[in-house]
Chain A
Amino acid sequence: QVQLRESGPGLVKPSETLSLTCGVYDASFSGVYWSWVRQPPGKGLEWIGEITYSGRTNYNPSLKSRVTISIDLSKNHFSLRLNSVTAADTAVYYCARVYGAKGGIDYWGQGTLVTASS
């Protein structure tokens, strides 16, 4: 059974960089897209971006200038960095898997709340 697990600081100061890692367990990295999705408290879902096992990335245009997603196959994880955070970046951040042939996110992490506050 595929498992995804987010890890990283729960509190980030404004103007600093948010960094999260998603550990991937019992899953192959090939043939799928590894994604990040966030959800501000009480609001809807926002797609942040995705990466393939070969390192090809796609980003939400509204976040593209601040986002970097990377992958480390040797450590079975992929990561998110979001620069210059503001209070508007406070959200639950989910890592997720998109099975390309399905075009749907079939596995999600449990989510981790990141608060941007001084």
Chain B
Amino acid sequence: DIQMTQSPSTLSASVGDRVTITCRASQSVSNWLAWYQQKPGKAPKLLIYKASSLESGVPSRFSGSGSGTEFTLTISGLQPDDFATYYCQQFNTDSQTFGPGTKVDIK
């Protein structure tokens, strides 16, 4: 099984900050990596697919990069609506796995 890790687990930031979250896979997943945002009591929302493609309707301040085993999600200019938990998910194998999540809270 491919294991996913995320760092940091919690991130305190202010509105306007540039925020970077890292996701690492235990083996290469090529570019089959997605990022989600989840708010309490809600289903996750797809932000990025195939490592760097922005889902339709998602603000351009969200961007993704990476391939192989290391990936990043960047929020350029954090907005009040962005305080949430972020998850990565790999789709490279028939058994998919999520990362443990990164909570972005208000500093």
B-contact 0/1 string along A66-104, CB 8 Å cutoff: 000000000000000000000000000010101000111
Q: Does A109 contact B (CB under 8 A)?
A: yes
Per the CB 8 Å criterion, the residue count for chain A at the interface is: 22
**Minimum Cβ distance to chain A for residue B49 (Å):** 3
B44 x A105 contact (CB < 8 A): yes
Given the complex, which residues of A lie within 8 Å of B33, measured CB to CB? 103
Q: Is the CB–CB distance between A47 and B55 below 8 Å?
A: no
Known: A102-B50, A103-B49. Is A47-B94 also a contact (CB below 8 A)? no
CB neighbours (8 Å) of B48 from chain A are 104
Indicate if B76 sits at the interface (CB-CB under 8 A).
no
Q: B68: CB under 8 A from chain A?
A: no
Chain B interfacial residues counted at CB < 8 A = 26
- A46 proximity list for chain B (CB < 8 A): 98
Contact, CB under 8 Å: B44 / A45: yes
| Contact call A94/B43, Cβ cutoff below 8 A | yes
What is the chain B residue whose CB lies nearest that of A46?
Answer: B98
Complex Cα distance, B42 from A110, in Å, reads 7
Interface membership of A29, Cβ < 8 A: no
1/0 per residue, CB under 8 A from A, across B45-59: the answer is: 110111001010000
Please indicate the chain B residues that have their CB under 8 angstroms from the CB of A105 in the complex: 34, 36, 44, 46, 89
* Chain A residue contacts of B81, Cβ below 8 A: none
Encode B1-34 as 1/0 by CB contact (under 8 A) with A. 1000000000000000000000000000000111
Q: Which of A52-77 contact B (CB under 8 A)?
A: 58-61
Please report A residues at the B interface, Cβ cutoff 8 Å. Answer: 37, 44-47, 50, 58-61, 94, 96, 98, 102-106, 108-111
